[in-house]
Amino acid sequence: MTWVTVDKVAQYEDQNVELRGWIANRRSSGKIRFLHLRDGHGVIQCVVMANQVSPEAFELSDRVPYESSVIVRGTVKKEPRSPLGYEISANEVRLIAEAADYPISKKDHGVGFLMDNRHLWIRSSKQNALLKLRSVVTNAARSFFDELGFVSVEAPVLTPTACEGTTSLFEVAYFDRSAYLTQSGQLYGEAAAMALGQICVYGPTFRAEKSKTRRHLTEFWMIEPEMAFWELPETIDLAEKMICRIVEAALEKCSTQLKTLERDTASLEKAVPPFPRITYSRAVEILKEKGVEFNWGDDFGADEEAVLSQSFDKPVFVTHYPADIKAFYMKREPQNPKLALAVDLLAPEGYGEIIGGGQREDSLEMLEHRIAEHGLPREPLEWYLDLRRYGSVPHAGFGLGIERAVTWIAGIHHVRETIAFPRLMDRLYP
């Protein structure tokens, strides 16, 4: 008999199939048991009637705890009342392994308990939907860059030094010395772009921040394209195209998941080009118009970003930030060197920053000056300065935070549910 996954049952209407999965839920009605079987590809109702299966099969359908693993054989039947459109009329139910009493029930558990049981919590429909959405988002982003001819490059996780300052670094005992977990693949991405033209780094990045906000993880993933010979405007266009591609993929491939998440997709459907582009100075004006007290020159916090991102019904690009609040490697606006050729993308509905990037300083002299100004150690950055010594070119790039992007697309509150095993200040298990 053909083993079929739940997402494929429509191809087997009125045929006998075998399903393999776990009992996610159960209802009883007289001599009928309705088993909800989940197999990782979906959930389907299996109708087990006492007169259609063996007494043993009926008994176990009635008895075994949730999350017991079973094999169900039966006929695929059209069922318009099912969200899936189909159900299984079972003629055989076989137990693979009976579960112990499952710790996660329908009742409200605290997040701490659920996170302690994250390895089980990911089986529940909402968490499952989030992980599939994440997979679709990351694969869409990777394919987008692959099709454009960008070379996929892995930046090192173990680095000899900090990219953007020495605070919030995780230190690793590396044989007889210290190493640090990378905070961004960007500097290495720049070196790779000088070798390969246009590249894309995908990998985990780390911040030892003691902040416990809904937007921070200590370990998070970024996709970081870097392009030799590109300047700010075309980099913004690229970010726009990438976001549209990701959102399209989510709408197209994750309609079931977005329904499970009760996501208002109308808001996502608005994410079509062109996204508004405003300067930092204009953003400050908007904040003031909305009655937010804010001084030009300060950095936006989560609150300001939320106000700005609620002012537009699409993602909005904010450019030309004060150079003083941006990293040392940012190129200055030639007409006004107080400004950096930086760009952030704020997701709508209050979600705030999901992309940060800009054009990189390509003058050796200016970069040396900035390193001194920022009080950064010079020696570990010598290799980075070499990129300006040997054929410097205009170049630019950005980083998309995967968890923040998925949080927005899913319409959920906290980034911690968008990764299989989140790491936070107080969360290292499982």
**What is the footprint of its own copies within residues 88-107 (CB under 8 A)?**
96-97, 99-100, 102
Dihedral sign for Cα atoms in the order 299, 302, 306, 312? positive
Total chain residues near its own copies (CB under 8 A):
95
Pick from 90, 193, 400, 415 the residue near its own copies by CB under 8 A.
Answer: 193
CB of 141 to its own copies, least distance (A): 11
Side-chain half-sphere exposure of 200, counting CA atoms within 13 A: 22
User: Judged by CB under 8 A, does residue 173 bind its own copies?
Assistant: yes
Pick from 1, 10, 111, 172 the residue near its own copies by CB under 8 A.
Answer: 172
At how many degrees (to 10) do helices 232-253 and 402-410 cross? Answer: 50
Only segment of 74-82, 121-129, 263-271, 309-317 that touches its own copies (CB under 8 A): 121-129
User: Judged by CB under 8 A, does residue 156 bind its own copies?
Assistant: yes
Residue 312 or 384: the one with the smaller Cβ distance to its own copies is: 384
Only segment of 279-287, 288-296, 351-359, 384-392 that touches its own copies (CB under 8 A): 384-392
Residue 209 or 349: the one with the smaller Cβ distance to its own copies is: 209
Pick from 117, 168, 256, 267 the residue near its own copies by CB under 8 A.
Answer: 117
Nearest to residue 163, comparing CAs of 381, 365, 388? 381
The H or E element containing residue 123 is none
Who contacts 289 (Cβ-Cβ below 8 Å, separation ≥6)? Answer: none
Q: CA–CA separation, 373 vs 366, rounded Å?
A: 10
User: Judged by CB under 8 A, does residue 112 bind its own copies?
Assistant: no
Only segment of 264-272, 277-285, 346-354, 386-394 that touches its own copies (CB under 8 A): 386-394
Side-chain half-sphere exposure of 237, counting CA atoms within 13 A: 6
User: Judged by CB under 8 A, does residue 149 bind its own copies?
Assistant: yes
Q: How many CB atoms lie within 10 A of CB 337?
A: 11
365, burial (CB in 10 Å: exposed 0-12, middle 13-18, buried 19+)? exposed
CB of 98 to its own copies, least distance (A): 8
Residue 173 or 266: the one with the smaller Cβ distance to its own copies is: 173
CB of 242 to its own copies, least distance (A): 16
* β-pair type (177-181, 171-174): antiparallel
Q: CA–CA separation, 216 vs 206, rounded Å?
A: 10
User: Judged by CB under 8 A, does residue 254 bind its own copies?
Assistant: no
Residue 134 or 404: the one with the smaller Cβ distance to its own copies is: 134
Q: Specify whether the CB–CB gap between 393 and 228 falls below 8 A.
A: yes
Provide the b/e sequence for 380-405 (b: ≥16 CB within 10 Å): ebeebeebbeeebeebbbbbbbbbbb
- Name which of residues 45 to 64 contact its own copies (CB under 8 A): none
User: Judged by CB under 8 A, does residue 359 bind its own copies?
Assistant: no
Residue 24 or 316: the one with the smaller Cβ distance to its own copies is: 24
Only segment of 198-206, 291-299, 309-317, 367-375 that touches its own copies (CB under 8 A): 198-206
User: Judged by CB under 8 A, does residue 25 bind its own copies?
Assistant: no
Phi-psi region of 420 (alpha: psi -120 to 50; beta: other; left: phi over 0): alpha
- Name which of residues 210 to 229 contact its own copies (CB under 8 A): 210, 218-219, 221, 228-229
Residue type for position 177: R
Dihedral sign for Cα atoms in the order 141, 146, 150, 152? positive
User: Judged by CB under 8 A, does residue 111 bind its own copies?
Assistant: no
Residue 251 or 325: the one with the smaller Cβ distance to its own copies is: 251
Cis check: omega of the bond before 103, within 30 degrees of 0: no
Q: CA–CA separation, 32 vs 116, rounded Å?
A: 36
- Name which of residues 362 to 381 contact its own copies (CB under 8 A): 362, 380
Q: CA–CA separation, 265 vs 255, rounded Å?
A: 9
Residue 152 or 281: the one with the smaller Cβ distance to its own copies is: 152
Pick from 25, 69, 91, 267 the residue near its own copies by CB under 8 A.
Answer: 69
Pick from 54, 143, 211, 213 the residue near its own copies by CB under 8 A.
Answer: 143
User: Judged by CB under 8 A, does residue 129 bind its own copies?
Assistant: no
CB of 285 to its own copies, least distance (A): 36
User: Judged by CB under 8 A, does residue 166 bind its own copies?
Assistant: no
